[in-house]
Amino acid sequence: MFNQSILVDQFGRTVDYIRLSITDRCDFRCVYCMSEDMTFLPRDEVLSLEECARLVKIFVNLGVSKVRITGGEPLVRKNALWLFEEVGKLKGLNELVLTTNGSQLEKQAAALKSAGVKRINISIDSLQAERFKKITRTGDLNKVLAGLQASKDAGFDGIKINTVLMRGSNDDEAVDLVQFAIDQKIDISFIEEMPLGEVDHTRESTFVSNADTLKLLQSKYSLLPSTESTGGPARYWRVANSHTKIGFISPHSHNFCESCNRVRITCKGELYLCLGQEDKIDLMPLLREFPHNDAPLVTAILNSMRIKPKGHDFDLRRAQPAVIRFMSHTGG
């Protein structure tokens, strides 16, 4: 057992946060995340929940203190709650968190709280039902809002909305979404659209800079800069006289790579060292070749720190996306 921070990359950054995708499947088809007609992975090419639990345990023993479970939509994975319960028991893990589209929360929020989930991020890109359905292609806003309420009823303190603004689509809702967060006494983060995967629009045509969004919000609210952090890339501002903070995740207008403390594991067991680069280590073959010996996996993970790149290089002017794989494949 290690249980100390020994994952340090070649640039001296300590990795203490993993984002694990447990499925590439989703019950939504968000326009910035995936194509309308997706081909999903065969079951035998996806990590079993037992393999997911094993990987998380190894990373926690190597000093990781925060684990985010993502997808696709993680809560559509059969028996996903078992994994949350297993991970929630791990000593040395400070935070087990979830990113979800909210569609399954009405039924599962209370059980997730009991399993040890500390915080929930819910993707909501519009408060207008028809527009929400257009962006998600299949989503029901009322169902998501019911899931948000169920999360509040379950006693979650850390609930945050994640929003991707797109020019000509929902960029006129920034103020409404912030006011909704204030009224709900929850937080909100704006995430700049990332050039991952081929979609049916050009990213440059829909891009909304967080710098512009911040300027707009500062004209409507008294915002106080904050040094608060949830361990990820967001930079926060407090809304004066409220319970709400606003985060900005800005891979284009403000590259946050200098403080990167995270790696991502796809549902195929690929360890990606950077969201915006293709550097990876395949862990699934080691999981299956050495089912009772963690040493080869530990060695591979330690060695991966040598190839973690300094940062991503997103350029919206490129004809092709920066990375061909969809966000749903890598994990949100």
Predicted TM-score of the model (pTM) = 0.89
Q: Please indicate whether residue 320 or residue 326 has the higher confidence score (pLDDT).
A: 326
- What average pLDDT score do residues 260-272 get? 94
Contacts 24+ apart (CB under 8 A), 252-258: 252/192, 252/207, 252/209, 252/314, 252/316, 253/192, 253/209, 253/210, 253/211, 254/210, 254/211, 255/311, 255/312, 257/310, 257/311, 257/312, 258/311
pLDDT band at residue 6 using 50, 70 and 90 as cut-offs: confident
Q: Please indicate whether residue 260 or residue 147 has the higher confidence score (pLDDT).
A: 147
Could you tell me what percent of the chain has a pLDDT over 90? 73
pLDDT exceeds cutoff 80 at 120: yes
Coil/strand/helix, residue 34: coil
Q: Which helix (H) or strand (E) holds 108?
A: helix 105-115
- The whole-number pLDDT of residue 206 equals 83
In this structure, of 111-115, 214-218, 275-279, the range with the lowest mean pLDDT score is 275-279
Q: What is the pLDDT of residues 277-306, one digit of tens each?
A: 778 999 999 999 999 999 999 999 999 999
- What average pLDDT score do residues 127-142 get? 96
Q: How far apart are CA 87 and CA 54, in angstroms?
A: 9
- The whole-number pLDDT of residue 321 equals 46
- What average pLDDT score do residues 123-145 get? 97
Q: What is the pLDDT of residues 25-56, one digit of tens each?
A: 999 988 888 777 788 899 999 999 999 999 99
Residue 232 preceded by cis peptide, ω within 30: no
pLDDT band at residue 324 using 50, 70 and 90 as cut-offs: low
Domains plus CATH for the chain?
17-330 (3.20.20.70)
Is residue 218 left, alpha or beta, with left meaning phi > 0 and alpha meaning psi from -120 to 50? alpha
pLDDT exceeds cutoff 50 at 12: yes
Strand locations in 144-274 (E): 158-163, 187-191, 223-225, 235-239, 245-249, 262-265, 270-272
* Tokens at 97, concatenated: 């968190």
pLDDT band at residue 256 using 50, 70 and 90 as cut-offs: low
pLDDT band at residue 198 using 50, 70 and 90 as cut-offs: low
